[in-house]
Structure 1
Amino acid sequence: MATNHARNRSVFKRVLVSESFLEKLFLLLATAILSGILIPYFTNKIQTDKARNEIVLQSQKNLLNDISKTLLTYETLLLDISWFKNNIATDSAMHEQAFKNYTSRSVDLLTDWRVESIKAKDLVSEDMSKKLDVFQLKMFKLQDSPMNRLHKQNGNNEEWAKLHRVNAQMLKEATDLISDLAKEIKITKSDLK
């Protein structure tokens, strides 16, 4: 019995120090360590990236909604002012009311627009961000300043009709800009529901 025990110990010792056994043991330990560390690491990284992408997508969706609301509201307010002073729909009382509406809301809308432009710098391409900024400057030059001048000087209907055509064109440009923004961030109508 003692010799059997000694022989088993000797066989066991040879197995433990054999190159094949050590290689298999090393591979087993390496696999256990790697799977215990790397799999959780990569799984966590994938989940973190997915969550980040969802946050960015939601932020882009919110930006599109906010910019759409701000630009379309702003352009509509400007259109209302010129509409009630052109040759088609002259109504001085409605014109004055539209001017008051614009005056009372424009500061808040411009603040929203500026905040949205700042957010856009992080959420859309540099080119799209610049388009939003350029559109705002164009609005001041072609719409806001001329509208205030005409109102102050009590411009005639033909001048207001000319401004109304500019306002209508700017509304079209605003909707095109919104559409371009949606395309850039790959948001469709179904994403907005």
Structure 2
Amino acid sequence: MAFGADELRVLRRALAVALNPAPLDDEAVRDCLRLAESLDEAAREAGRLRAFLLADLTRYRAALPGSATGYLELLQDALAAGYEPGPDDLAALRALRGTPAAAALLERCRTLAERSVRARLARATPAPRTRLLALPGGRAADEPKDPGPQRPAPGARPVPKPSEAFPPRRRPVQPPPEHRAAG
């Protein structure tokens, strides 16, 4: 993205105001709004251009091997614009690696794809958990030390035993052998 002299003047004035806030006259505000609109339009145009480039790349890849030269040029342009090669690109380059340009581009794409996968894995890996430590103070510091076993308070429910909470499963009662025979 390139700026003209007028746009640079407006940008410099906007940055100066951002660093040292001061009231702006109406003309300066209109200039800043026009610059913002121009930047938004340039960003939208870059998105449209990127979409067109990727669609073109897909069409050339589908027409391989007949479109090898055009595909390699488009792929280089896409890589220069920040495109991350996918599995389809790597497979296409493997099929074309007989040419020196495709072999060199394959190595570059392998490196970029590996770097991309590593970055995605690094973002997906959760941070190591830190151990929780008990800090002195809080409610436990205000309570007296445990003198040992005590009787439960009146009206308190006793803690159930595991056999009471989870009673053993009973086997179903089976009918006597003479009733089980099919007749």
TM-score, length of structure 2 as denominator length: 0.35
Structure showing greater radius of gyration is 2
Which structure shows the bigger proportion of residues in helix conformation? 1
TM-score, length of structure 1 as denominator length: 0.33
